[in-house]
Amino acid sequence: MLLDFMKGLKHFHKGGVHPHENKLSAEAPIKELPLPKSVVIPITQHIGAPAKVVVERGDTVKVGQIIAVHEGFVSSNIHASVSGKVGKIDKVMDSTGFKKMSISIRTKDDIWEDSIDRTPDLVKDIPYTPEEIVKKIMEAGVVGMGGAAFPSHVKLSIPEGKHVDYLIVNGVECEPYLTADHRVMLEKPHEIMVGTQILMKALGVDKAIIGIEANKWDAIEGLKKIAPEYPGIEVQGLRVMYPQGGEKQLIEALLGREVPSGGLPADAGCIVHNVGTIYSMYMAVQKNRPLIERVVTVTGKSVKEPSNLLVRIGTPISDLIEAAGGLPEDTGKIISGGPMMGKALNELDIPIAKATSGLLLIPEERSKRQEVYNCVKCGKCVEVCPMGLQPVELSLLSKNKNLETAQAHGILDCIECGSCSFICPSNRPILDYIRYGKSNIRKAKAS
């Protein structure tokens, strides 16, 4: 702790846990996955309205061609990630566990839209106006790639009456195992910097902070070294603590500002974007390249070659697992995302979506929940809750459907980070009950 202080590391101040980091793939350079035989692209990979399909079965599409158009402002364009023939347009199970309308494309060759700049050269000049930048990002279908998948252009228009003075770039990657953002920061530092500048211009702010946890020291040093070339951008190391990558926690760690209950980062004068998203925005604005691929970590204790793969959106997860050395014999659970907040998958042909940051393969013996004991009132869940709630109480209120009291005690502030269930010595499903309570409250509100 003293050492962290001497290194100038910051951290959030309420609760927090320390799961084993297990960043097995931290040393594995980003590797491009060979083109998949076919892709399945859901038309809802974002929060908001589903995009409208604009292709038909049998159409020939190029890489980067729009195949579904955003409907309304809070929505996102969907592009073909491979070239070839459009196949079935049907409901397919995606990583959320629900069946969603999806467009399948059988890959043929690799023909790209002419407007896309495919050279690896760095483009530093930003000749666009803020409006043009927002339009380009919207056209490119960029969404939050840290997990939330909120359409990025929406976050670029600051609500009336709010004053934003900081852009915060989230390079925390506090989920154990995941290393996709880490590798992007290591291998594309200039792109991240230019991307940050693009956003600063779009938002009209002159200060940006990139927050990175200290377990990615090489990324911190790499970005710090080039930071002087990019005025206004500061790189800040953070002590390793979960859930530091939570938007509210990160703002508090970096600026000491607490986003009010029910508020948005803009209420604390900030806009937060994930580094992966920043990279995609750089590609969208400087290279005219829509969001058709992303870096995905494939990892796990039994995985032969934990890897960071650059894959086209819509690639089935089985292709990625194959590239990382095949499905281990002992696999008992496959998680999309990290172990703290990721979703367990039940099939191998689920497609990679824009917000899929990793695939974690957990061995059979670790995939089941352990025996549940009575609550011993130890208060550990209260101690670790980063939102200052009493999870033990909220879970009981939810269980007993005492929703009004639960709401009065802040159940809707819960960010579902899972720290309470993680720490509970009685293995109680605290977060499950809280989710149940939250969904019941939402249902009651809707009706």
Residue ranges in 184-203 that form contacts with another protein under rule CB under 8 A: none
**For 182, which DSSP code?**
H
| Of 46-54, 56-64, 125-133, 379-387: span binding another protein (CB under 8 A) | 379-387
Minimal distance in Å, beta carbon 116 to another protein?
36
Inter-CA distances, 230 with 158, 204, 207, Å: 24, 16, 11
* C-alpha–C-alpha distance, residues 94 and 164, integer Å: 36
Q: Is 422 in the site for another protein (CB under 8 A)?
A: yes
Give, as ranges, the residues between 19 and 78 that touch another protein (CB under 8 A): 19-20
Nearest to 15 by CA among 352, 323, 317, 391: 391
Q: Which amino acid is at 203?
A: L
> How many Cα atoms are found within 13 Å in the side-chain-facing hemisphere of 21?
15
How many residues bind another protein (CB under 8 A)? The answer is 75
Give yes or no for a contact between 350 and 336, defined as CB atoms under 8 angstroms apart. Answer: yes
Among 334, 352, 353, 406, binds another protein (CB under 8 A): 334
Minimal distance in Å, beta carbon 377 to another protein?
5
Minimal distance in Å, beta carbon 298 to another protein?
16
Q: Is 252 in the site for another protein (CB under 8 A)?
A: yes
Minimal distance in Å, beta carbon 425 to another protein?
5
> How many Cα atoms are found within 13 Å in the side-chain-facing hemisphere of 137?
30
Minimal distance in Å, beta carbon 250 to another protein?
12
The contact mask relative to another protein for 230-249 (x = CB under 8 A, - = no) is ------------------x-
- What pairs with residue 298 in β-bridges? 307, 359
Choose between 122 and 408: whose C-beta lies nearer to another protein. 408
Q: Is 269 in the site for another protein (CB under 8 A)?
A: yes
Please measure the distance between the N-terminal and C-terminal CA atoms of the chain and give it in whole angstroms: 50
Q: Is 388 in the site for another protein (CB under 8 A)?
A: yes
Give, as ranges, the residues between 76 and 115 that touch another protein (CB under 8 A): 97
Torsion of CA 336, 30, 306, 172, to 10 degrees: -60
Q: Is 264 in the site for another protein (CB under 8 A)?
A: no
Q: Which amino acid is at 243?
A: P
* Token pair listed for 402: 């005492």
Q: Is 209 in the site for another protein (CB under 8 A)?
A: no
Choose between 29 and 260: whose C-beta lies nearer to another protein. 260
